Amino acid sequence: MNTEVTKELVEKYLSLTERAKQKATPIHKAGTPESIRLTDMMRMCDDYASDAGHFMDNGDLVRAFGAINYAHAWLDAAVRIGLLDGKGDDQLFTLPP
């Protein structure tokens, strides 16, 4: 059981989140209320991912790990509520029922 947050672990989750972001695609057309909500969720994802990089660069691996998990959660939530298409990938996302 791994109980230590390492740089490698944070980098793994940074990469995982970037892969998820590249894979998921918007479901709704631009300008719709859903696409506006998605834009806000993606901004939150990007902000948390940026924070993770900042924390990692400053040696604060615990906060970096927390921030990248928050970033991924925004993507995961957007897939789950039907704003992003996760392409059936249940390894990167919690898919809708």
**Domain 7-85 indexed as CATH 3.30.43.10:** no
Tell me the pTM. 0.92
Domain extents in the chain: 7-85
pLDDT tens profile 11-60: 999 999 999 999 999 999 999 999 999 999 999 999 999 999 999 999 99
Query: How would residue 1 be classed by pLDDT, with cut points 50, 70 and 90?
Result: confident
Cα separations in angstroms, 74 against 1, 3, 4, 79, 92: 27, 25, 24, 9, 12
> By the 8 A CB rule, do 67 and 49 touch?
yes
Q: What is the pLDDT of residue 97?
A: 84
